[in-house]
Structure 1
Amino acid sequence: MAKKAPVQQRVQREQLPVAEITDHCRVYVDGVNQTDSQAHPATLDHVRKLEAQGHDAFVWLSLYEPTERHMHQIAEDFQIHELITEDAVSAHQRPKVERYDSQLFMVVRSIIYRDQDTVKDARQIIESGEVQMLVGPNFIITIRHRTRLPGLESRLDDAEELASYGPMGIAWAMSDHLVDHYLRVVDVLSTEVDELEEEVFTPNSRIDIQTIYNLKREILEMRHAIDPLAPALRQLIAGNEDMIGKQLRSYFRDVLDHEMQAKDQVASFDERLSALIDAGVAIISLQQNSDMRAISAYVGMAAVPTLIAGVYGMNFDNMPELHTEHGYFVVVALMVFIVLGLWVTFKKMGWLDK
């Protein structure tokens, strides 16, 4: 039943109309949002009429995890290239930028960070989602997988700029929001790594090496999500001047700068955590050696009275010491003296200090 459930959910999602998986369908006229309808074919026709009248208009359609059937319907309405349609259905894609004639396809990963104390599964510390952007001359279609739709109101409040940028203005605002969140996650991770370093290098502290492993694994997940974005943004800026104006290219360069900052910081975290793992393993080995040395010392002290008691417990008839009047007291005193001597010796050598 557990295996059939995801298949059944996919079948049920296939049967949903496009309107049910649509976050919004907006028409921007001269940089101002005019409508918020889910009837995307009607809004696209409306945009074409407005363009014929000399207005700068485009459609922003936002979808949540469309299936292949949904995307074929959208592709037919918007005349989307068939290769883009295939990519838009599949999640878990690397960040990339691809150009198909007058259409552009972008993939930017989103990052969600959760504190280790608030998750049951360590693999949930850092989770990545995906935002895909299909940009055409008079439309942009955003598709989100395992992530929320970013709030872009503050970045889209200048109608004049948005009118001049067109659909690529939405793509820039979306990319800028997601990459800025990388930096916020990096700030939190910086605190986490600093605390782990302090814990590891504090004398006599008990180290939980599994915590370091968990965070390193999640940071590797983050690196896989954000590292490929830098070459994709360079390709976007350098090779699509007909779709991206000079001012907007400078904005994308700023996104690239922020992405490089996040990328370098995460790479440094990865290196620092590798060093912490090596240091932690070395410290744990020293602690274990110290523990074993202390245990060996205590076993050695216990072995002496055990040996003496064993010798005099053999009960042979020909043992002169058994008939000594004060033999018991002498042997007990000897045991105590030897054990105390060993304790003082081991203490001076530091074998009893853990």
Structure 2
Amino acid sequence: MNFLNPLSKNGKNQDSEDKKSSTQTQRYNNITWVDIENPNRKEINHLIKDYPFHPLHLEACLSKGQLPQIEREEHYLFLLLHVPSYNTTENKISTDQVCIFLGKNYLVTVHEDSASGIREFFNICREDKKQRNAYFKKSPGYLLYNVLDNLIKDLSTLLQTISQELDEIEDVVFDDKVSGVYKIGQLRHKIIRLRRIIGFSRRIFEDLVPSTKDFTGDNLSDYYENLTRTINKLWETIEEARETVEIYKDADFIMSTEKTNEILAILTIIFTLAIPATVLGTFYGMNILLPGGIEVGAWTFLGPYTTLILVLTGSTLPVLLMLGYFKYKNWF
């Protein structure tokens, strides 16, 4: 399955009404799988006629921003999950919503086309008889397990790309000639989004084992416990990635601050060394009588450049003294 699904040409999701809705159904071994892509009101109304679904659950399929949930009704189990979608244009991860209805002899999946992994798996089962027999051989609960397993594999693949980006950004962070602020910010956004998705999924999967058994009659605890273990490992991976990127953020900030301090130190030293000459030139450039000033004629006891030599000496001597003191204090 492939979660790397480019969005619209401008890199943004189109509105639901602009997308073409598609409903496909396949039946095998007394199991019906209905897959609805880009649901609209018309498609949802068809579900009302064919299945005993609660109106609130059907409304959740059309609305956005719903929190992940698992609810057990008398005749079916309702799941609402979040899955990631990678926008290759903007290099960002967005969150898509997947609604699932599990009954004793049916499975209904409702999702946007950006969650393309579900439709790809649906087509594999429809076109490959061997695969269809393998996935439909037990119960809708077993079919649901395989759907979720493919979603987790997509999530795992995305986490691998995050790990690769962490390795790449490490070289940028510790290179004092390159700033990694923007790349770190992008990576933090991806990790935060994935962490939220995985965190919700952990709680949902923990409740799946007893619920699926009630509606399908199969003991699929080993399968769903395997999903739970996998999602917990992904959680540990994303937590490690979050801690790593925070370390990189702090390291980049420290190195940027150190570079700024070095620049300020150099500018401060230059300014400090220029103070004696500035003060001397300011005082003796005034049109008033000052101690040591020349009232009549010119100083020539050191030749025609006596005045210049004295001014340079008076300016340079304090500079040398300050440089010696700075060196003694190990300021540079």
Q: Distance in 2 between matches of 1:95 and 1:285?
A: 42
Q: Distance in 1 between matches of 2:211 and 2:111?
A: 25
Residue matched to 1:24 = 24
Residue matched to 1:186 = 159
C-alpha distance after superposition, 1:98-138 (max 9, x if no partner):
221121112232223457xx62xxxx522221222112233
1:103 paired to 2:76: yes
1:72 paired to 2:39: no
Q: Distance in 2 between matches of 1:312 and 1:156?
A: 100
Which of 324, 330, 333 is the equivalent residue of 2:299? Answer: 324
Alignment check: 8 A CA contact 2:209 2:220 kept? no
Residue matched to 1:260 = 232
Matches within 5 A, 1:2-13: none
Residue matched to 2:200 = 228
Residue matched to 1:135 = 102
Secondary structure class of the residue paired with 1:324: coil
Q: Distance in 2 between matches of 1:94 and 1:125?
A: 21
Residue matched to 1:5 = none
Question: Which amino acid is 2:110 matched to?
Answer: I
Q: 1:291 to 1:349 in 2, by over 3 A?
A: farther
Q: 1:324 to 1:315 in 2, by over 3 A?
A: farther
How far 1:313 moved relative to its partner? 0.7
Matches within 5 A, 1:137-152: 137-145=104-112, 147-150=114-117, 151-152=120-121
C-alpha distance after superposition, 1:230-284 (max 9, x if no partner):
1211111123313345564322222222211111111222222233333333333
Q: Distance in 1 between matches of 2:178 and 2:324?
A: 27
Q: Distance in 2 between matches of 1:73 and 1:81?
A: 13
Alignment check: 8 A CA contact 1:130 1:146 kept? no
Question: Which amino acid is 2:21 matched to?
Answer: I
- Structure 1, unpaired ranges of 5+: 1-8, 31-56
Question: Which amino acid is 1:142 matched to?
Answer: T
- Higher mean displacement: 239-248 or 253-262: 239-248
> TM-score, normalization: structure 2?
0.79
Q: Distance in 1 between matches of 2:130 and 2:80?
A: 24
Question: Which amino acid is 1:149 matched to?
Answer: S
How far 1:297 moved relative to its partner? 0.6
Q: CA RMSD in A?
A: 3.1
- Higher mean displacement: 296-305 or 311-320: 311-320
Alignment check: 8 A CA contact 2:85 2:95 kept? yes
Q: Distance in 2 between matches of 1:159 and 1:210?
A: 46
Question: Which amino acid is 1:64 matched to?
Answer: E
Q: Distance in 2 between matches of 1:211 and 1:139?
A: 45
Q: Distance in 2 between matches of 1:181 and 1:85?
A: 26
Q: Distance in 2 between matches of 1:319 and 1:341?
A: 24
- Structure 2, unpaired ranges of 5+: 1-14, 301-305
Alignment check: 8 A CA contact 2:163 2:241 kept? yes
> TM-score, normalization: structure 1?
0.74
State the number of aligned residues: 305
Alignment check: 8 A CA contact 1:182 1:259 kept? no
How far 1:86 moved relative to its partner? 2.2
Matches within 5 A, 1:273-288: 273-288=245-260
Higher relative contact order (CA 8 A, sep 6+): 2
Matches within 5 A, 1:111-260: 111-113=84-86, 119=90, 124-145=91-112, 147-150=114-117, 151-152=120-121, 153=124, 157-200=130-173, 202=174, 204-244=176-216, 246=218, 248-260=220-232
Q: 1:156 to 1:210 in 2, by over 3 A?
A: farther
Secondary structure class of the residue paired with 2:262: helix
How far 1:165 moved relative to its partner? 2.5
Q: Distance in 2 between matches of 1:297 and 1:83?
A: 71
